[in-house]
Amino acid sequence: MASVISLNVVHAEIPDEGGSVGITAIDKRSVSDRRVITTDGVAGDKRSDMKHHGHTDQAVYAYASEDYAWWSQQVGYEIAPGAFGENLTTVGVDWNAIAIGTVVHIGTAVLQVSTARIPCGTFQRWMGQDQWVKRFTEAGRCGAYLRVIMSGEIGADDEIVIAEVPGHHVSILDLLRVWTGTRESAQLTRVAECVDTPEDMREKAVSALANI
Give the CATH number, domain containing residue 142: 2.40.33.20
Tell me if 186 is assigned to some domain.
no
Tell me if 83 is assigned to some domain.
yes
Taking each helix axis from N to C end, the angle separating 199-210 and 172-179, rounded to the nearest 10 degrees, works out to 50
Taking phi over 0 as left and psi of -120 to 50 as alpha, with beta for the rest, 103 belongs to beta
Average pLDDT over residues 160-175: 97
Average pLDDT over residues 118-125: 94
Looking at residue 48, what is its pLDDT? 67
The half-sphere exposure of 115 on its side-chain side, counting CA atoms within 13 A, is: 19
| pLDDT tens-digit series, residues 19-52 | 777 888 899 999 999 999 999 999 999 886 666 5
Tell me if 195 is assigned to some domain.
no
Q: Could you list the residue range(s) of the whole structural domain that residue 27 is in?
A: 3-166
CA distance 130 to 76: 14
Tell me if 124 is assigned to some domain.
yes
Tell me if 120 is assigned to some domain.
yes
Domain count along the chain: 1
Tell me if 54 is assigned to some domain.
yes
Tell me if 183 is assigned to some domain.
no
